[in-house]
Chain A
Amino acid sequence: MADHIDIDHVARLARLSLAPGEREKLAKDCDAILAYIDQLSSVPTEGVEPLLQTTGLRNALREDGGEHIVAEHLVTSAPRHDDSFVRVHTVLRKKK
């Protein structure tokens, strides 16, 4: 395996814009780490179920209620807010 990361594509997916020097350093580091984790590809795992979690708990349900009243604080934590609303910038821009 030991792939090379298409750093620009992945950074776009991760909503990161990287400065030029930063971009090269990250790509180099990530390739070295990928080369290290490549040792897993040769481990036989046929018929082994993946261990996604360790407690074995499933569907831990509770009553649907709102006792945890912190909504006001949470909204005022937002860098841009108006009364009880979080403000965001334009999502779709008109084509010029």
Chain B
Amino acid sequence: MRHTLSTFTEALSKEGIDSLLGAYRAARDERANLNAFLSTGTVMPLRPEGPLAGIPFAVKDNILVRGEPCTAGSHILDGYVASYNATVIEKLLGAGAVVFGKTNMDEFAMGASTENSAFGVVKNPLDMSRVPGGSSGGSAAAVAAGLCVAALGTDTGGSIRQPAAFCGIVGLKPTYGRVSRHGAIAMGSSLDQIGPLTRTVEDAARILEVIAGHDPYDATTVDQPVPAYAATLSKGVSGLRVGVVQEHFSEGLSLEVRARVEEAIETLRAKGVDIVDVSLPHAPLALAVYYTVMPCEVSANLARFDGVRYGFSDTSAETVLETYERARSAGFGAEPKRRIILGTYALSAGYFDAYYMKAQRVRALIAQDYERAFEKVDAIIGPTTPTTAFRIGEKSDDPLAMYLSDIYTVPANLAGLPALSVPYGVGHESGMPVGVHITSKAFDEETMLRIGYALERAV
């Protein structure tokens, strides 16, 4: 354990790689603790016998760690220090894990490139001229660069899976209700889930075992037994039926991603998987639904950042209205403002039915498409992203182009389903990693992990 920890502290101090990437901020208390542990061997992690004993973790900076600043990548939380641990942090610490640092992210988890942080751009460790994806870009970059063993991220429309694909690592979004959101700064409350970013499928399985389960502090968690995911990984995939969605191979999918995903499908077929064509006819509408429902939820969730309760406040304000307006106007960046404006508009009198309720009805159609598909298949496979990691600055001036990065990941959030991105080789043009996306039935993370494990073994 001591060896593992010192390897990672050395990696962190090497030529300031963390500041080069812009991915990472070491946790204050933990850094002091670690230094004491490494120099004297006297301070031990809490539970040396736990299943994750001594494993250095990085945590996305929208998940509360008691005593640590939590910024959500925004100036509006300047000066805020978390008063309690998120449930996932309690569970990790209880399993012996070491919270090593907090990772940079798109402001309030809004973005697909981690260029939208108030604390600077995060770079892709595989090619520093490219983005690491987002919004959990700091977590993905930290894992890919070897600055931690694993990281936690949050996923509202693809924010774990898309950066995992861009950085060549594994990213898992659990079923909605599988993992507690208590202590995660909310973005879209009907969509958000916390999940792991790891180097291997087995690591993701082991971490999900620890963080999953019902939590009295999150009334949307479901009381379902948590299987021993890691134990069933090697059961093999022969006899499984896996669906390929025709709508996923339409225009917009780059040739290099398409080629790798088709190879992955052939690999599964060779392992005895029955590959079946399925149709999700409403899938092309998912992004339009998402960009209606999510801003509505954002506008409600971000109302709490008012300059009164926590974080940044303009001291020159004289009335409470000025306190609100000045804190929010100076504290939020462009993307949160854009989504607050859109959501406020869509929820305002006269527009609620036409936008919010209409989108929720189309969302029901998308979920019904999946129900029908899962009558025929055990899981669905496709690309995680239309392209590999793009260049820094390439899409930062065009919000709609950026939003299209999430086109294959958003449907799982809308339908509440679990999904996994597994690296499968690199694109022949860009030389950057390609992610294969596997979706399974609600609360059946086991099947997608088994398929991911089989693919990982085949690369």
Contacts and interface: CB of A to CB of B under 8 A. Distances in A.
Interface in A34-90: 34, 36-37, 39-41, 43, 45, 48-55, 57, 60, 62, 68, 70, 73-74, 77-80, 86, 88-90
Contacts of B285: 39-40, 43
Closest 5 CB pairs of A and B: A54-B416, A50-B360, A73-B83, A79-B313, A60-B219
Nearest to B399: A29
Interface residues of B, number: 71
Given A15-B324, A39-B288, A53-B190, A33 B360 contact: no
A40 B310 contact: no
Interface size class of A (residues with CB under 8 A): 35 or more
B307 interface: yes
Contacts of B358: 40-41, 43, 45
Contact of B361 (A7, A14, A49, A90): A49
Interface of B: 79-81, 83-84, 176-177, 190, 216-217, 219-220, 222, 282, 285, 287-289, 291-292, 299, 303, 306-313, 317-326, 328-329, 332, 334, 337-338, 340-342, 344-345, 348, 351, 354-355, 357-365, 367, 399-400, 414-416, 442
B328 A10 contact: no
A3 to B, nearest CB: 8
A36 B329 contact: no
Given A16-B340, A51-B360, A30 B345 contact: yes
Nearest to B78: A79
Interface of A: 1, 3, 5, 7, 10-11, 13-19, 22, 25-26, 29-30, 32-34, 36-37, 39-41, 43, 45, 48-55, 57, 60, 62, 68, 70, 73-74, 77-80, 86, 88-91, 93
A40 B219 contact: no
Given A14-B328, A15-B325, A40-B359, 9 more contacts: A10-B344, A13-B344, A13-B348, A29-B399, A33-B342, A54-B415, A80-B313, A86-B308, A90-B319
A45 B321 CA distance: 40
Given A52-B190, A93-B319, A16 B222 contact: no
Nearest to A50: B360
Contact of B317 (A5, A30, A60, A89): A89
Contact of A16 (B84, B219, B320, B325): B325
Contacts of B321: 15
Nearest to A73: B83
